[in-house]
Structure 1
C-alpha cells in the first residue's frame, strides 16, 4: 500500500508541484520583478519540464532502477527547477521533488551529490532568490544551505535506520517461516514414525503371540497330553481294576487341566476382555477373577483421569498384567497383591506389587541367561510400544513390576 502511494506521488507529484509553482509565480511575478524575457524563458522551461515528465512517465518501468537514463532525467529536472527558481523563488515547489526518489533514480555514489544540488536550489529560494543579494544575502544563503544539509543528514540517518529495521523484520519473518516449516516437517515425520511404530508393534505382537502360543502348547498342553498317554499306558498294562481306575482319574484330571490351559492360551492371544470393557474395568475384572481363583487377596487401583487409549496400548498393558498375575500364582507364594494403573501427563504407568518370596533378578539372569518367569516377554511388550519395564525384587521381600508406556489416545 505504501509503495503504491509513493508510486502515485512519483508519477503525478511533479505535475502538481510544477503547476502550483507556476500559479505562485504568476501571482508574484510583478513583486519579484519578472520581465517579458523572464516569462518567455519560464514558459519554455515549464513546457520542457512537462515534456520531460511525460517522456519519463512513458518510458520508465513501474519499479525503475538507477540507469544512465534515470541519471540524465534527474539532472535535467534539477536544471529546469534551478533556472525556474532563479527566475522566481516560488518555483522551488517544483524543485523540492529532487529530495524524493533520488535513491530510485541515482546510483549510490551520486545520491548525496544529487541531494546537495537540490539543497542549493531550496536554500536559494528560502534566502529570497538567486543570486543572493549582497554579502548579507550570501551569509543567509550559506546558513540556510547548512541547515538544509543538516536536515538531509538527519532524515537520511532516520531513513537508513527505518530501512534496516524493515530488513531485520523481513529477515526475522523469513527465519520464522523457515522454523515453522521445519517444525511442521518434524511434526509430520514424528506422526509418520508414530504410525509406523504402531504398525510394527502390531506385527511384532502377532509374532510374539505366535511364539507365546507355541511355548504355551509345549509347556502345558503338550506336557499334559504326554502325561495322559503315560497314564493310559499304565491302565492298558494294569491287571488291577482299582489301579486302572486311579490312573484313569489322573488322566481325566490332566485332560481337564490341559483344556483349561488351551482356553487360557486362546484367551490371551485375543484379549476379549477389552471387547466390551474399557481398560480399567477389564483390569479390575482380571484381578478379581485371579484373586477368587487363587485365594490371594488382590486390589486394583486407578489414579489420574482415565481416558480411552489406543488399542495396542491397552492390549499391551492387559497382557502384562495377565503375565504378572500368572507369575505371581506360580512362583511368588504371595498373600497380598496390588495392581495400580496411573494416568499421567503423556504417560501411563502400570505397577504390580506382591508380598511373596521374591527373588534375586541378577542371580536369575546369571542362571538362566534371561529375565525368566516371563519378565523378558513383559519387557518386550512394553518396549514395542516405545515404553519401558523395570523389576525390583529381593528374596523374602516381595516383587514390584513397573511398566511405563506413552499415553496414546484412542483414534
Structure 2
C-alpha cells in the first residue's frame, strides 16, 4: 500500500516525505492544539476566542481528511492541491491570530508550497506563511504598539529573506532532480536501444557465421575442383597420350618407354591427389624454392610435350610465402598444359620476375592463338583452366591477364603481391 513501509525493504527519502505529507499535518495540528489549550489561560484567551479556535481546529481536521482522499493520484500543481494549500494557510493564519502557538501548525506552509502550488504562486504562498510565523514570533497578531510593529517588521524581513533563499534552493534542487530523472530516463531508453542493437548484432553475427561457413564450403569445393583439374585431370591426359603412343608403336622398346612414362604419371597424379585432399603444398615445392621448382617443371613439360621451352628469372630472388609459391606454380602448370593441348606451338617461355612488392609470372608460346573475348567459359580451349588461374590469383589478391590473337601466340601474365616466407 502507498505510504506504508514493506518489511525487509529500505524506505526511500521520497517515501518518507510522502508519509510526512500524509500524516504530518495531523500530528502538527494536534500538537499545536495541545500547546494552545495549555497556554490559553496564560495568554488570556477569551471564551469566544477559545470557541473560535476549536471550530477552526475542527475545520482544519476536516480539510485534512478531505485532502487525504482527494489528493491521492493528483498530479503536481493540480487545482485541488492549490485549494488545499490556500485554505490550510488561511486557517493557520486565523488560528495563529487567536493564539500565537498555533504557528506550530502554520509551519506546514514552508514544506509543500513548491509541491502544491504553480511556480509563480510559490513565493506569495511562502510570504503569507512568513507573515504568520513573524506574527507568532513577535508575540501575536496583530502587533501592539510601535515596538510590536518594529519587532514584527524585523522578524518578517528575516523570515521572508530566509524563506525566499530556501525556496530558491529548493526550486533549483527540484529542477536538478527533474533533470536527473530525465537523464536517467534517457539512459534507460539508450540502454534499451543498445540492448536491441546488441540483439540485432547477435543475429547478424549468427547470420554471418552461417554465410562464412557456406562461403568456406564453396571455397573448399572450388579449391578441390582446381586441384583436380590441375593435377589429376592433367595427369590422366598425359597417361592417355602415352598409352595412345603405345597402341601404335611398332617398336617394343619404345612402347615400354611410354608405358613407364604412363606409370610414372599415374604415380605422380596419385600423390598429387592425396596432397590436394590434405590441402598440402605441391610436391614440387616440398624441397625446392619456386624458381627451382618452375625450372624443373618447365624442363619436364618440354620433355613430355617434345617442345622447346626456356625458363628465366629476373630481379632478386626472395623466399615466398607457401600460398604464393603454390599459386604461381599451379598457374604455370595450367598455362603450359593449355599450350601443349591447344596451341600447336613449337616453343614456349616462362619468366618469373621479382619486382619489389609484386611478383609476376609470364608464360608465352608461339602457337596459333585465339580470341580471349570470344572464349566461352569452360570451353575446350582451356576455359576452365583460365577461370581456375584467375580464381587462384584472386584468392591472394592477384590478377591474371591473357593476351592472344589468331596466329599471334598466347601470353598469360599473373601478378600477385610478394608476400615473404614467415
Check whether TM > 0.5: yes
Matched, 1:217 2:222: no
Equivalent residue of 2:250, what SS? coil
Aligned-partner Cα distance in 2 for 1:77–1:365? 102
**1:348-372 deviations in whole A, cap 9, x for unaligned?**
xxxxxxxxx7534376599999996
Q: Give the 5 Å matches for 1:224-243.
A: 224-243=235-254
> 2 CA distance for matches of 1:366 and 1:328?
11
1:134 and 2:145 correspond: yes
1:70–1:105 Cα contact (<8 Å) kept: yes
SS at match of 2:186: helix
1:44 and 2:93 matched: no
Contact 2:232 2:273 in 1 (8 A): yes
Whether 1:84 and 2:95 are equivalent positions in the alignment is yes
Aligned partners of 2:359 and 2:416 also within 8 Å: no
Native 8 Å contact 1:85 1:121 kept in 2: yes
Alignment of 1:280-319 (within 5 A): 293-294=286-287
Residue 377 of structure 1: aligned partner: 395
For 2:45 and 2:321, the matched residues in 1 are separated by 109
CA contact (8 A) 1:20 1:93 kept: yes
Contact (CA 8 Å) 2:353, 2:359: kept in 1 or not? Answer: no
Q: 1:17 to 1:7 in 2, by over 3 A?
A: same
1:355-394 correspondence runs (5 A): 359-360=354-355, 361=358, 374-379=392-397, 392-393=417-418
Structure 1 residue 129: deviation in Å? 0.5
Question: Structure 1 residue 120: deviation in Å?
Answer: 1.0
Please give the alpha-carbon distance, in whole angstroms, between the structure 2 residues aligned to 1:75 and 1:168: 29
Q: Greater helix share, 1 or 2?
A: 1
User: Structure 1 CA distance, aligned partners of 2:57 and 2:184?
Assistant: 47
**1:69 Cα shift?**
3.6
- Cα distance in 1 between the residues matched to 2:391 and 2:15: 79
In 1, the alpha carbon distance for the partners of 2:391 and 2:70 equals 90
Which of the residues 11, 20, 28 maps onto 1:9? 20
- Note the alpha carbon deviations across 1:125-152, whole angstroms, 9 max, x for none: 0111111111121111111111111111
Structure 1 pair 330/52, CA: closer, same or farther in 2 (3 Å)? closer
- Distance in 2, matches of 1:227 and 1:331, equals 18
Instruction: Work out whether 1:400 is the aligned partner of 2:411.
Output: no
State whether residues 18 and 46 of structure 1, in contact with CA within 8 Å, keep that contact through their aligned partners in structure 2: yes
Q: What corresponds to 2:294 in structure 1?
A: none
Verify: 1:326 aligned to 2:346, yes or no: no
* Mean CA deviation greater in 157-166 or 192-201: 192-201
C-alpha distance in 1, partners of 2:51/2:57? 10
Which deviates further from its counterpart, 46-55 or 191-200?
191-200
Is the 2:143–2:152 Cα contact (8 Å) retained in structure 1?
Answer: yes
Following TM superposition, the consecutive aligned residue runs of length 4 or more in structure 1 with deviations greater than 6 angstroms are 289-292, 328-332, 365-373
Work out the CA distance in 2 between the residues paired with 1:218 and 1:292. Answer: 19
Query: Over aligned residues, Cα RMSD in angstroms?
Result: 3.6
Residue 341 of structure 2 aligns with which residue?
none
TM-score normalised by structure 2 residue count? 0.67
Any stretches of 5+ residues in structure 1 without a counterpart?
Answer: 269-285, 298-319, 333-356, 381-389, 394-398, 403-411
Contact 1:370–1:376 at 8 Å: present in 2 too?
no
Report the equivalent of 1:149: 160
* Contact 1:89-1:125 at 8 Å conserved across structures: yes
Task: Look up the match of 2:37.
Answer: 26
Paired residue secondary structure (1:359): strand
Q: Which runs of 5+ in 2 are unaligned?
A: 1-11, 291-319, 333-351, 365-385, 399-414
SS in 2 for 1:31: coil
Judge conservation of contact 2:272–2:283 (CA < 8 Å) in 1. no
Match of 1:114 in 2: 125
Shift of 1:157: 1.4
- Please give the alpha-carbon distance, in whole angstroms, between the structure 2 residues aligned to 1:365 and 1:183: 54
